[in-house]
Chain A
Amino acid sequence: MNCEVCQLKELEVEHFEIREVLRCILHTIVFHRALGLVRPKDIDLELFDITYVQCGDIEVEKKIDEKIEQFVSWVEKHPNKKSEICLSFYEVKSKHPSWFTNKIERLDWEQWHINLNVTQHPKPKAHSGKSHHSKIVVDPGESASEERSVRRASLEVSLREVLFQIIKFVNEKKDHVPPITESVIYFPYEIHIPRKFL
């Protein structure tokens, strides 16, 4: 079985936006791979005007939150650095089963690479050079907040693009998805930071 890989568009986020962005993306992907009986849950983002869908499974929610916190801790140790979270779906197959050995093999059949560029924008400073000569008093707070709102709007647009990217990928590539089994709600998955970023 081939492994389909999807590289999502890179998002430039600030530290406080990481959790929301990652929750949105990870839950959207998992929802599309939770092919068992689910009761979806709509979640409105607080920072953005976007509603995403969770599969409604508490275990999934816990696991995703846990991984996000690990990622946030990692980011705090490696600030202002491009990073990636990989969400991979795998199948467990026993390799060369025999009487004595029963090696279990994990085969990824799908990988999602979520690329983030966590930036830490400096706090607003007074434009002292201009204030002497400029008749108009420029409030540095206003310009910084405007800049932030522009960045926020741009990030929202990008996040929406990423979500549609996920939907498109899910639509276009279906053959590699393993068959649905009745007892399984969602395919086993793993969330990790690739080694090259560690």
Chain B
Amino acid sequence: MASSHSNTHTEGAKMEQIITEFFAKSLHIILESRSPYMSSRNYSGEQAIWSPSSSSSSSSGVRPRDKWFNLALKECPAALENPDIWRQSNLEPMVIDVILVQRPLVWDPVNCSPKKDFGRNISSKERCPFSWNSDQEELGCEAKTEKIIERWIVQYESRRLRDNCSGSRRSSNTLHMMYKKSVLLLRSLYATVRLLPAYKIFRDLNSSGQIRTFTLTHRVSSFFEPFTRREEAEMLLFGFTPVDTSCGRLCLSVVYRSSLSDISLESSTPMSTQFIPDYVGSPLADPLKRFPSLPVPHGSPSSLPFSRRHSWSYDIYKASSPSFSFSPSPTHSESHASISNPSSRRLPPMSLPPHPPETSSIHKKNTSFDEYYPSPNFTPSPSPSPPIYIPGNHLSKSLLRSESAPVSIPLAKLASSPVLSNRQNLPPSPPLKGTRYGNPRTDTSTGFVQIGASDEKLFSLGKDDIRKYSGMKISSNSSPRISFSRSSSRSFQDDFDDPDFPCPFDVEDDDMTDPGSRPESFDPRGLLCDPHEPGGLFPIRKSQDAAVGELVRMLKKAPPLRQDFSTSVCLSQDKMSSSSLQEQQASASIASSGLVASKTTADALEELRGYKEMKKDLLLSQAGRSNTSANDTCMQKSTTG
């Protein structure tokens, strides 16, 4: 009697341990594929040395916790950190929210303020002190949107202990069966997390080095705030078949957004231009106005504050080494070590620099114009910080070049710059292949269990759960489109309207309505004043204006062209009448010299005419002298004869 009682107690303890480890394992599986940069995919290096046939725990690469449910997973600090016990017991559900955090494409430091709609998270935090949001404090004042795209619920429902273990044999069989079914459930969980839409986001975040305007974060708690009706309409429910135990059943389900196509998840696609503050401009950009430096995290996009995958100390898991015979593992608390503590250390989210993510793509598009038109997303600033964006160097070189070669600035190119057209005709940001996931037919045809279905396959909902899930329904309708603002920052536009800026190229604004038709004319001020111009082009034109201004000043100070007119005079003499107008036009066509050149040419022509007159006079006078001398000779002859 006593032995059966002790056996029952032992079996009960084993059951508890299995349930506890089940929670930990499921958390690990979920977060491993939802926490970007927290885990590495396919660590094949370890696989090469790992011998699956080895049963020894000391074999290479097999950690004690890997043996639970025979599933060796990759490192996932998100699931393993904070090993404090936050769940009071196995009866508390574990709710894992996978949150998509989106930042606006334009970082507006002026309006930097804590986002107000954290209220929902805050209220849930207040309500459940053990829940936490990993990015509330990290992201600070950046305006961002958070959307729960998945909610996993792991729960153990206990039944009334009507039938206690009648015998150790039966309970042993039950344990074996339960363990086997748990293994199967976790296998299918592992496969399922990779088939849901959120996995693609995780994969993109992990694999690509591109700057993203979105990231994934998570929240683990034992409570959750029910979704709104609108959110419920966008979600689908998938419930895994519960695993029966002697005293209850293990339930696992997920509510997820069926489609992420409505969420604009641009990454490296071109976007509207914006300031890159603290950009070191060209030394020729002295006349440019100094702009206030904006608080920008220094460093290149590669120096994102990633939370690197750190090796996890396995000391916590020393004791928790399961075997199939269910030998009791050391203390319950150690087995709880695998559960992440939501109340302490959080995962630092991937914070994005304020640089436009698609500057690289813009740069690629403008490669043919890099010589003169580096990416518009820079501002020449005399601040000593290193240039953030590489194309600025191109501008420096181009300015130097233009200074030394004072003739043609390819204003035609600028005026009809494909940069403009590209910006206006930017391809729509490619959807994150959400359509592939969001097909309602897929979801309905896989037979995803409806919450209202009366079957045993779904976990039975307690009254509280029904309240929480009330209103949640399976919907195959696509969610309403969520617009994603991409307004470009134009607050700096007024800074360019500087009346003191010496610009000899004043042309009426009307002339710039069709810049393509007038390649010779150049009105940087007109361009600057154009409210429809993307803001990012202003700095380029400004610096080019400076270059042009310098050129003009040089031309003004240059000696007159009289010495050079010897050849031009010879040429013009041949085609005097018809070429004068042509010369005027030709000279006027030299855009950089502009009025100065025309003036000089006019003066030269005047002088030329003067010379012609003089020549005429000379010839006439010579002719007259010769006639006079001839007459004198004739008269002398006539007098002598």
Secondary structure of the A side of the interface? mixed
Closest-CB distance, B604 to chain A (whole angstroms): 57
Expressed in whole angstroms, the minimum distance between the Cβ of A186 and any Cβ of chain B is 10
Tell whether B625 is near chain A: CB-to-CB under 8 Å: no
Contact B194 A153 (CB under 8 A): no
Q: Mark A34-67, 1 if CB is under 8 A from B, else 0.
A: 0111111110100001111100110000000000
List 7 A–B pairs whose Cβ atoms lie within 8 Å, in order of A's numbering: A31-B190, A37-B66, A39-B61, A50-B195, A51-B199, A56-B52, A153-B436
A195 within 8 A of B: no
Residue B185 is within 8 A (CB to CB) of chain A in the complex? yes
The CA-CA distance from A160 to B445 in the complex, in Å, is 10
Known: A31-B187, A50-B195. A38 touches B72 (CB 8 A): yes
- Given A35-B70, A157-B439, does the pair A51, B194 have CB atoms closer than 8 Å? yes
A42 contacts B188, CB within 8 Å?
A: no
Given contacts A49-B433, A51-B199, contact A167 B192 (CB under 8 A): yes
- Cβ contact of B55, chosen from A32, A172, A182, cutoff 8 A: A182
Q: Mark A144-157, 1 if CB is under 8 A from B, else 0.
A: 00000000010011
- A170–B442 touching, CB < 8 Å: no
Residues of B within 8 A of A (CB): 41-42, 44, 46-47, 50, 52-53, 55, 61-62, 66-67, 70-73, 176, 179-181, 183-185, 187-188, 190-192, 194-195, 199-200, 203, 240-241, 324, 433, 436, 439, 441-442, 445-448, 457
**Interface 0/1 of A136-169, CB less than 8 Å to B:** 0000000000000000010011001101111110
Rounded to whole angstroms, the CA-CA distance of A37 and B436 in the bound complex is: 33
Residues of B near A157 (CB, < 8 A) are 436, 439, 441-442
CB <8 Å contact, B52 and A160: no
In the complex formed, the residue of A with least CB distance to B183 is A35
Nearest-neighbour CB distance to chain A for B253, whole angstroms, equals 11
**What residues of A have a CB within 8 angstroms of the CB of B52 in the complex?**
36-39, 56-57, 185
Tell whether A193 is near chain B: CB-to-CB under 8 Å: no
| In the bound complex, CA of A31 to CA of B181 (Å) | 14
Contacts A38-B71, A51-B203 given; indicate if A160 touches B442 (C-beta within 8 A).
yes
* Set of chain B residues within 8 Å of A153, measured between Cβ atoms: 436
CB A45 to nearest CB in B, in angstroms, measures 11
Cβ of A98 within 8 Å of any chain B Cβ, yes or no, is: no
Residue count of chain A within 8 Å CB distance of chain B:
40
Are A180 and B436 neighbours in the complex by a CB distance under 8 Å? no
Contact between chains at B445 and A37 (CB < 8 Å) = no
Q: Does A179 contact B (CB under 8 A)?
A: yes
Kindly state the separation between the CA atoms of A174 and B445 in the bound complex, as whole angstroms: 22
Of residues A28, A32, A37, A40, which shows the largest number of chain B Cβ atoms within 10 Å of its Cβ?
A37
The distance from the CB of A24 to the nearest CB of chain B, in whole angstroms, is 11
Residue among A28, A36, A40, A171 having the largest count of chain B Cβ atoms under 10 Å: A171
Beyond A51-B203, A157-B439, whether A174 also contacts B180 by CB under 8 A is yes
Q: How far is the CA of A168 from the CA of B188 in the complex (A)?
A: 8
A54 nearest CB neighbor, chain B only = B42
Query: Within the assembled complex, what's the spacing in Å between the Cα atoms of A170 and B179?
Result: 15
- Chain B CB within 10 Å — which of A41, A42, A52, A172 has the most? A42
Is B71 a contact of A40 with CB atoms below 8 Å?
yes
Name the distance in Å between A44's Cβ and chain B's nearest Cβ.
8
Which residue of chain B is the closest to A162 with respect to CB atoms?
B446
A128 contacts partner chain B, Cβ-Cβ < 8 Å = no
Cβ-defined contact, A177 with B184, below 8 A: yes
Known pairs A40-B190, A157-B441; list 4 more (Cβ under 8 Å).
Answer: A32-B184, A35-B180, A39-B72, A156-B436
CA distance A51 to B436 in the complex (A): 13
Give every chain B residue within 8 A of A53 (Cβ-Cβ): 190-191, 194
Cβ-defined contact, A38 with B70, below 8 A: yes
Q: Which residue of B lies closest to A39 (CB)?
A: B72
Q: How far is the CB of B322 from chain A (nearest CB, A)?
A: 11
B596 → chain A closest CB, angstroms? 53
A174 to B66, CA, bound (A): 22
> Taking the complex as formed, is A73 at the interface, i.e. its CB lies under 8 A from any CB of chain B?
no
Question: Separation in Å of the B328 CB from the closest CB of chain A?
Answer: 18
Known contacts A39-B72, A40-B190, A157-B439; decide if A163 and B195 are in contact (CB<8 Å).
Answer: yes
Identify the 6 closest CB pairs spanning chains A and B, nearest first. Answer: A164-B446, A171-B241, A39-B72, A37-B70, A51-B194, A167-B188
Give the nearest-CB partner of A167 in chain B. Answer: B188
- B67 contacts across to A, CB distance below 8 A: 37
Give min CB distance, A184 to chain B, whole Å.
10
Q: How far is the CB of B379 from chain A (nearest CB, A)?
A: 39
- Say whether A160 contacts B433, CB under 8 Å: no
Which residues of the partner chain A approach B194 to less than 8 Å between Cβ atoms? 42, 51-53
Min CB gap A100→B, angstroms: 34
Whether, in the assembled complex, A183 has its beta carbon less than 8 Å from a beta carbon of chain B, the answer is: yes
